[in-house]
Amino acid sequence: MIYLFVIHYFFPKVEQKKIAPSETLPVLFFVTVGAVEDLFQGIVGPAIISKTITGVLLIILVRQLFFHWTETFKALVIFIFTLIDEVIYSSIMIYFFNFSVNLQLFKALFIKGLINVPIGLLLSWRKP
């Protein structure tokens, strides 16, 4: 969802009087998505931080790459940014809330990344 928002925001179908989009609206969107996720989990903070950091990294990547992305590259970006988001979130939960770390956590992170790839590709079909 964050990937689609960034792509639609930075690459609109109609040019908007040659005004370069700023990062304010996407960052506000990332914070909102993180806040909603935090409210569902009952702990405010970790998802906001992880979604915002991941979103800002995605903005940096989108601004640096001005070519048409292939489906394979798009899948790799979705997978890597899902892992980055989950690693940041898990690190915050482990460090500040003393959750235990085991092998199941890493398996779950990897599976979340693999599940997000086909969903992200379906949602971004025929988009850059």
Residue 79 resides in a domain: yes
SS (H, E, C) the chain: CHHHHHHHHHCCCCCCCCCCCCCHHHHHHHHHHHHHHHHHHCCCCHHHHHHHHHHHHHHHHHHHCCCCCCHHHHHHHHHHHHHHHHHHHHHHHHHHHCCCCCHHHHHHHHHHHHHHHHHHHHHCCCCC
List pLDDT tens digits, range 44-94.
Answer: 889 999 999 998 888 888 777 756 678 888 889 889 999 999 999 989 988
pTM for the model stands at: 0.76
Q: Is residue 17 part of a domain?
A: yes
Is 115 a member of any domain?
Answer: yes
Q: How far apart are CA 6 and CA 27, in angstroms?
A: 10
Considering the domain boundaries, does residue 90 fall inside one?
yes
User: Is 8 inside a domain boundary?
Assistant: yes
Q: The domain containing residue 59 runs over which residues?
A: 2-123
pLDDT tens-place string over residues 35-55: 999 999 888 889 999 999 998
Domain count within the chain? 1
Q: Is residue 128 part of a domain?
A: no
* Contacts with 71 (C-beta within 8 Å, 6 or more apart), sequence order: 121
- Per-chain mean pLDDT for the chain: 82
Neighbours of 120 (CB within 10 A): 21
